[in-house]
Amino acid sequence: MYKASRFSPLVSVVRHTVITLPTPINISTWWNFGSLLGVCLVIQIFSGLILSLHFTAHTDLSFYVVIQSFGDVYYNWWFRAFHANGASFFFIGLYLHIARGLYYGSYVFKEVWSVGVVILLVVMASAFLGYVLPWGQMSFWGATVITSLFSALPVIGSDVVIWLWGGFSVDNATLTRFFGLHFVLPFMVAGLAGLHLFFLHDQGSSNPLGVSSDYNKVVFHHYYVLKDLVGVCFFLGPLLGLVYFNPWLLGDPENFIEGNPLVTPHHIQPEWYFLFAYAILRAVPNKLGGVVALAAAVLVLFYMPFSPKTSIKGLSFYPGGKSLFFSMIGVFFLLTWAGSKPVEEPYVVISQVLSFLYFAYFILIGPVTRVQDKLL
């Protein structure tokens, strides 16, 4: 292996990435989610490729092709269930990965953090496009509602919506281009993940203590390779359990009805991993204001590398900061719950209060930790 790495640039890169990479000795299980997300991405790309072989992007055929493939294509049900639930687990890993970064101050590595937020945005876009493809009721109306949000843009809004639809309504042209984009975006995510790793290995990993660990590192293999493999096993267990015993638990029953532009579902809502942002969108009475709030709910993460600096990275030694962080986690779950409820009282007011608290965290976390720095 050593001789090969001297003469082969590719083997050398792999060796320095997953074998001899110096890694802080004290990083915890919370650092496992990076590798788990890599596994998720591979699962999604592979299962998506299999599903695409038996899919027809046409409004008259898509719904029936998906249903027909269940019975006529060997193990198609398994790949679809794995793909659908894999998306949910992908977002669970993403949100935990971001939460770990916020808690331990990983956002101080600006390039790593910024590329990670871009990955989140592209994954969200890909997930939305994929949700439209089965052309069920919630797929059709979800596409109609979300794409219509662009009409709130001043001057160019209506033209942008028509361009997205490929016509004057969500129709065959929309489905065709959504399928093409959904096929391409995961490979873009893979490229961004490579860039994310490049910056990570260039700048080094953070650690739970938030102090420099340059003097106390170990090689990545075999210490963290084995640890990551254990994490993958714990991750695949619940995923396979969901696939085999209750594959449609996280889905919407409305999506088992073919999309019908003449029948609007009683309560239109996205998949659970978008509900927090959906609640923020609905909390603002003005359409343009809601779109701005929706975008800001994710784009606010770009602000974190520029927030006030603290003496110690992370919140481990800041009681006030920790209280704010775990309050924000509670707010996130409550927003997800509120997003699943109808647009009526008291859920509208609850969403407005929770949205205010969500954004307040990003405004207050810097000053609160700075005050504790001065007190100490």
CA 92 to chain centre: 8
* Catalytic, out of 54, 58, 110, 201: 201
Catalytic-role residue among 252, 254, 258, 271: 271
Cis status of the peptide bond prior to 221, with omega within 30 of 0:
no
Told to judge if 227 belongs to the known catalytic residues of this protein, a careful annotator would answer yes
Question: Is 201 part of the annotated catalytic residue set?
Answer: yes
Residue 196 is assigned to a ligand binding site: yes
Lookup: tokens for 330? 């509670």
User: Is the peptide bond between 346 and the residue preceding it cis, with omega within 30 degrees of 0?
Assistant: yes
Known active-site residue 205: yes
Q: Which of 205, 206, 351, 355 is catalytic?
A: 205
58 classed as catalytic: no
Q: Let me know if 271 is a catalytic residue.
A: yes
The alpha carbon dihedral of 219, 221, 222, 224 has a sign of positive
Closest CA to 273 of 348, 335, 351, 362: 335
Whether 266 has a binding-site annotation, put simply, is no
Token reading at 205: 């990993």
Cα angle 302, 308, 314; round to 5: 80
Q: Is 101 exposed, middle or buried (0-12, 13-18, 19+ CB in 10 A)?
A: buried
Half-sphere exposure of 128 (CA within 13 A, CB side): 21
Closest CA to 220 of 7, 9, 35: 35
Torsion of CA 242, 254, 335, 196, to 10 degrees: 60
Q: Please, are residues 81 and 243 in contact by the beta-carbon 8 Å criterion?
A: yes
**Residue found by looking up tokens 């293999």 in the block:** 221
Q: Which of 54, 58, 221, 227 is catalytic?
A: 227
Task: Please name the residue ranges forming H helices in 73-109.
Answer: 76-104
The string of DSSP letters for 169-229 reads: SS-HHHHHHHHHHHHHHHHHHHHHHHHHHHHHHHH----TT-S--TTSEEESTTHHHHHHH
Which residues participate in catalysis according to the annotation? 201, 205, 227-228, 271
Binding residues for heme b: 83, 97, 182, 196
Binding residues for a ubiquinone: 201
Binding residues: 83, 97, 182, 196, 201
